[in-house]
C-alpha cells in the first residue's frame, strides 16, 4: 500500500523543485545536497510505510490542535545539531500524504517550541 506524496503549497513544492533542479543541473551546494538526499530518502520511506522505524514518525499534539487535524513528524536525521524534521498530514485524498513543513527539531519541547514551528498552508 503506497501513498502519493504531495508538497504543501507553495513553500514545500517550491523548495523541493528548487533542490531537484539544482541537483539535476549540477549547481547544488554541499549542504543543499545533504538535505536533498536525506529528504528524498525520507519521502521514499514515507510513501511506502509512514511508520517505517527509521522515520520515527509520531504525532505532534500541539500542531494537531492548532491545525484541527493530526500533524505528524518524521525524522530526516537524528542525533545531529539542528536535525531536520518533516511535518505532514494524511490527505486530502485517500492514499495521499501532504508535506506541510520542513524544520530543524525544536530544542525545547516544554516551553512552546512547537508554537514557533512554521508550516505551510494546508490544501
Q: What is residue 56's DSSP assignment? A: -
Q: The cell 545531529 sits on which residue?
A: 80
CA 28 to chain centre: 20
Look at residue 108 and tell me if it is in a domain.
yes
Look at residue 121 and tell me if it is in a domain.
no
Look at residue 122 and tell me if it is in a domain.
no
* Percent of the chain's residues with pLDDT above 90: 58
* Calculated CA dihedral for residues 113, 114, 120, 122, nearest 10 degrees: -170
Q: Please tell me the pTM assigned to this model.
A: 0.86
* Calculated CA dihedral for residues 36, 52, 115, 99, nearest 10 degrees: 50
Q: Give per-residue pLDDT as tens, 24-67.
A: 999 999 999 999 999 999 999 999 999 999 999 999 998 899 88
Look at residue 69 and tell me if it is in a domain.
yes
Predicted local confidence at residue 2, as pLDDT: 92
| Dihedral sign for Cα atoms in the order 13, 99, 57, 78 | positive
Q: What is the chain's Cα-based Rg? A: 14
Q: Which domain holds residue 19?
A: 4-116
Treating both helix axes as pointing N-terminal to C-terminal, what angle do 30-48 and 11-25 enclose, rounded to 10 degrees? 120
Look at residue 107 and tell me if it is in a domain.
yes
What CATH number is attached to the domain comprising 101? Answer: 3.30.2310.20
Predicted local confidence at residue 77, as pLDDT: 85
Cβ–Cβ under 8 Å, residues 100 and 71: yes
Look at residue 81 and tell me if it is in a domain.
yes
Amino acid at each position: 500500500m503506497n501513498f502519493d506524496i504531495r508538497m504543501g503549497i507553495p513553500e514545500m513544492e517550491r523548495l523541493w523543485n528548487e533542490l531537484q533542479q539544482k541537483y539535476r543541473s549540477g549547481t547544488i551546494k554541499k549542504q543543499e545536497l545533504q538535505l536533498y538526499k536525506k529528504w528524498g530518502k525520507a519521502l521514499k520511506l514515507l510513501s511506502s510505510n509512514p511508520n517505517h522505524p527509521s522515520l520515527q514518525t509520531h504525532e505532534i499534539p500541539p500542531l494537531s490542535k492548532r491545525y484541527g487535524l493530526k500533524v505528524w513528524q518524521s525524522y530526516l536525521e537524528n542525533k545531529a545539531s539542528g536535525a531536520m524534521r518533516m511535518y505532514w498530514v494524511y490527505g486530502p485524498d485517500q492514499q495521499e500524504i501532504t508535506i506541510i513543513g520542513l524544520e530543524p527539531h525544536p530544542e525545547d519541547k516544554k516551553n512552546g517550541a512547537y508554537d514557533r514551528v512554521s508550516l505551510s498552508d494546508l490544501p
